[in-house]
Amino acid sequence: MGTLTATGHPRARAKIARATAICAAFAAQGCVLEDVTTATANGAMTQRRGNSTNDVGYHLWRSDYGLFMKRADASQSTGWFNQGPADQFFGRFCRGFSAPSDATATIGLTLDAGLWGGLPLQSSRRLTIRVAFLDAAVGSFSLGYDSSTGAKSLPIAHGGSGRWIEVCWRVTDGRFEGGNDIWLQNSDNVGEIFDSVEVYDTPNWEDLSLQAVTGCTTYDEHHNLVMFPPPPPPPPSPPPPCADSLSRCPRKIADGSWTCATRAADCQLTCGLCGGGSVASAHSAHTTALKS
Ligand SMILES: [Ca+2]
């Protein structure tokens, strides 16, 4: 009597076929199913321990990763997977406009009404709104928010670098009355893909960039580019270790005293010491050299 393998069982085969078909339907949006057997295995632990990337599986998180923010209307955007260069950590999951060629397409976001003691805000607060988007082509969009004097937006043009870009917008007059508290709006027929939108409390206008080299392109609330001071120069590198491989050096011997070694193999840190004078003075100079 034989044993049915997981992939040989009719039910397992049906699950694999279903997962494969689902991923195929989303292939244009970057769906990946590297190990369909693991992806459809019974038990969350099997899936978790799999050494593969699978965008289809059981008991997966159905919506965005979000904290105190949600999409106002799920129909406004489309999910994407695995977008952008492999050397940037953005884009494992991302969203784009559901109508990418519509210049008025909008993705609205609603903040949790309990934020900061309750929304809408009644007083000025230093906030930074950060968006990470994929600069896949020449185009533009705008980042908007509900301010104390109504809708405000920051136009963002991009040049088609193929890279993920972070933009930070510092604002002080957020109101957030509900509905579209923050939004992304297309402004041409080039639909952007977004990794994330975040709003931070930044009482000291803290730098929110997640990328060390490129940083976050930061604007104040009047759309002026904020220039950060150049980073401090790196500290001077320490002097190289003292090792000139001379065949004379102070060397501790078994009884705790010092001698003058004559073999190069015994002299890891000589730097010309032990060439004259006593072993003791050479040792003293040697120690000084090591401490310098
Ligand atoms: Ca656009």
At 236-269, the pLDDT tens digits run: 887 665 555 555 666 666 676 777 766 666 665 5
Cα dihedral value 192, 194, 200, 205, nearest 10: -50
Residue reference for tokens 């009597």: 1
Centroid of ligand 1 to alpha carbon of 269 (angstroms): 63
Centroid of ligand 1 to alpha carbon of 55 (angstroms): 26
Alpha-carbon gap, residue 98 to 78, rounded angstroms: 5
Centroid of ligand 1 to alpha carbon of 7 (angstroms): 44
Would you mind telling me the total number of residues written for the chain in this entry?
292
Alpha-carbon gap, residue 22 to 172, rounded angstroms: 44
Alpha-carbon gap, residue 121 to 129, rounded angstroms: 15
- Give me the percent of the chain exceeding a pLDDT of 90: 61
Which pLDDT band, with edges at 50, 70 and 90, does 82 fall under? very high
Please check the confidence at residue 6 and state whether its pLDDT lies above 80. Answer: no
Which pLDDT band, with edges at 50, 70 and 90, does 211 fall under? confident
Pick from 284, 254, 281, 283: which is nearest to 267 by CA? 283
pLDDT digits (tens, 9 = 90+) for 163-186: 999 999 999 999 999 999 999 999
Alpha-carbon gap, residue 109 to 254, rounded angstroms: 75
pLDDT digits (tens, 9 = 90+) for 124-154: 999 999 999 999 999 999 999 999 999 999 9
Centroid of ligand 1 to alpha carbon of 203 (angstroms): 31
pLDDT of residue 92: 94
Centroid of ligand 1 to alpha carbon of 140 (angstroms): 4
Centroid of ligand 1 to alpha carbon of 139 (angstroms): 5
Cα dihedral value 266, 268, 273, 279, nearest 10: -40
Alpha-carbon gap, residue 190 to 137, rounded angstroms: 7
Centroid of ligand 1 to alpha carbon of 28 (angstroms): 19
The first and second tokens of residue 188, run together, are 């041409």
Centroid of ligand 1 to alpha carbon of 143 (angstroms): 11
Centroid of ligand 1 to alpha carbon of 133 (angstroms): 11
**C-alpha 142 chain-centroid distance:** 22
Spatial contact of 147 and 175, defined as CB atoms under 8 Å apart: yes
Cα dihedral value 96, 97, 99, 101, nearest 10: -80
The first and second tokens of residue 82, run together, are 């695995």
pLDDT of residue 278: 44
Centroid of ligand 1 to alpha carbon of 286 (angstroms): 67
Q: Going by C-beta distance under 8 Å and a sequence separation of 6 or more, which residues neighbour residue 141?
A: 133, 155, 156, 184, 185, 186, 187, 188, 192
